[in-house]
């Protein structure tokens, strides 16, 4: 009886020895041998900035009296400095108003506005003003553009274009 019991005991010892050898060959490290951490990686794609002119909202000086005085149309579209001849005589008054543009883009990003009189504009002496905000609000902004014409324009009809450029800061 004692002899037959000895066989399984030997098997257990051999198994343990094998396990110990494996551990020695490939060192088994306890907790603390390695550690893991995560970093976030982030990127934000923002909407391109856009600008478009509001239909019918052009910069219009109406009718002026030649040689009389300079004339200013405010950003709000009100004219000062010269009289509207046709309005003053009560017939065929021509519209006066500021140009208006709408800007779209990123929610609250800051942007820079530039307004220029285009080459080829017949009103070469025109200077421009605008009331552009510094930042978009809820991804939108409105820009009104006024201007000033000096005195001394020769009688005639003048047209031309202006350009407004917006750029993300």
Partner 1 sequence: MRKLTAIAVAVTALGLGGQAYAAGNTNSAGATSSTTVIAPITITKTADLRFGQFVQPTSGGQIDINVGGVVDLTGITPSGLTSITQLGTGRGAGAFSVTGQAGRVYLVTLPPGAETFLTRSGGAETMKVSSIRRTGGTANRTLSATGTDTLGLGGTLEVGANQAIGAYTGTITLTVTYQ
Residue 165 Cβ vs partner 1, minimum distance, rounded to whole Å: 12
Question: In DSSP terms, which residues pair with 9 in a beta bridge?
Answer: none
Which residue stretch of 15-23, 57-65, 76-84, 122-130 sits at the interface with partner 1 (rule: CB under 8 A)? Answer: 15-23
Which residue stretch of 17-25, 61-69, 74-82, 122-130 sits at the interface with partner 1 (rule: CB under 8 A)? Answer: 17-25
Going residue by residue from 105 to 144, which x/- string records binding to partner 1, judged by CB under 8 A?
A: -x--xx----------------------------------
Query: How far is residue 100's CA from residue 143's CA, in Å, rounded to a whole number?
Result: 6
Taking CB under 8 A as the rule, does residue 38 contact partner 1?
yes
DSSP symbol at 27: P
Q: Which of 6, 20, 114, 124 binds partner 1 (CB under 8 A)?
A: 20
Cα 8 versus chain centre, distance: 80
DSSP symbol at 75: T
Q: Is the dihedral of CA 65, 66, 71, 75 positive or negative?
A: positive
Query: How far is residue 69's CA from residue 27's CA, in Å, rounded to a whole number?
Result: 96
Scan residues 45-104 and list those touching partner 1 (CB under 8 A). 45-49
Paired tokens of 110: 């800051």
Count of other CB atoms within 10 angstroms of residue 122:
11
Residue 28 Cβ vs partner 1, minimum distance, rounded to whole Å: 7
**Unique residue bearing structure tokens 């109406």:** 62
In the complex, which residues of this chain contact partner 1 (CB under 8 A)?
10, 13-14, 16-17, 20-21, 23-24, 27-49, 106, 109-110, 168-169
């Amino acid at each position: 009886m004692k002899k037959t019991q000895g066989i399984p005991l030997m098997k257990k010892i051999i198994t343990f020895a094998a396990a110990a050898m494996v551990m020695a060959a490939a060192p088994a490290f306890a907790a603390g041998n390695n550690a893991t951490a995560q970093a976030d990686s982030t990127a934000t794609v923002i909407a391109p900035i856009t600008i478009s002119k509001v239909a019918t909202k052009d910069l219009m000086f109406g009718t002026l009296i030649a040689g009389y005085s300079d004339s200013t149309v405010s950003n709000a579209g009100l004219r000062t400095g010269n009289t509207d001849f046709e309005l003053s005589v009560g017939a065929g008054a021509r519209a006066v108003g500021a140009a208006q543009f709408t800007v779209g883009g990123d929610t609250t990003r800051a942007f820079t506005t530039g307004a220029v009189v285009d080459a080829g504009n017949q009103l070469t002496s025109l200077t421009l003003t605008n009331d552009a905000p510094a930042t978009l609000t809820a991804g939108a902004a409105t820009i009104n553009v006024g201007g000033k014409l000096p005195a001394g324009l020769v009688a005639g009809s003048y047209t031309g274009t202006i350009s407004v450029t917006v750029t993300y800061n």
